[in-house]
Amino acid sequence: MRKSSILGSMMAVTACNAAAFAEVIFNSIPGTLAANYTSQPYQAQQVSEFGDRISFGGSARQLSSASVTMSMWGRYEDWNVGGQYYGTGAYAGAGYTQSFTFNIYAAGTGSTPGALLGTVTQDKYIQYRPTVWASANGIAQNITFDLSGLAITLPESIVWGLAFNTENYGTSPTGVNGPYNQLNVCYNQSSSYAPANGGVTVGSTDLLTKFINAATNVNGQYGSYYSPSTVGTFSMAETGTTLSGKALNAPMVSFDAVPAPGALALLGVAGLIGGRRRRA
């Protein structure tokens, strides 16, 4: 009984420590979101998947979650009664639920990502742009993916990609108009400022490259172009330029991780020993 009690206590303490020691290892999302940001369309620019090659900061490497900032251009009034896209009312409400696939690849080399390390498909609620919304063309909002079930110990660098279906693009295009046609991924760049380091506060990335699966060259922000290394394949796309004196900025994403299981076990033992000493 005594051994079982000790083991159970260690597992409980370790689980608590996992949450307590969660660490941001990459971040390009501001602490407070602006109304909207420059963004990368999917439907409008024939994109099926979009992401970036990044390197992590910090020390934790057991992946727990990732967040991406989305921009929804679709207006509340367009998808509700009397709106131009109301139709059968399938998307009526303050927003709708969208299925996303979040992929994690090894960093790879050059224009090609490495092997797929893990993937999740999860449904997320997307809010429509309110009728009156700060004179912005869209509303910025974060979606968070629980990645703890993948049990991935991260390398120092990866390529991530976010995929979802639109009317004409994705792994299974819907074939019909929907609010997903107006959904984009945000860059850390608004019309009023250009943050240092492309908005990256933890970790690093090459601001002049992105990874994209597009059916054609993609019109990037400020009129530059992303030219996929291989059209129709998720590969690196380069702009090779800066415009208006501003470096192109990072897609808005954040990764959280916890210490590896062995380190958590040691933390659990340390917590038990400390607790017993205090009671002695």
Question: Which pLDDT does position 269 carry in this prediction?
Answer: 46
The residue among 102, 39, 44 whose CA lies nearest residue 70 is 39
pTM, entire model: 0.85
Count the Cβ atoms, other than its own, within 10 Å of residue 231: 15
The answer to whether 214 touches 226, Cβ cutoff 8 Å, is: yes
Low-confidence residues of the chain: pLDDT under 50: 1, 6-7, 9-15, 222-223, 242-247, 269-274
* Nearest-angstrom CA–CA distance, 98 and 72: 12
Domain ranges (residues) in the chain: 21-279
Question: Which pLDDT does position 69 carry in this prediction?
Answer: 98
Instruction: Give the chain's radius of gyration (CA, Å).
Output: 21
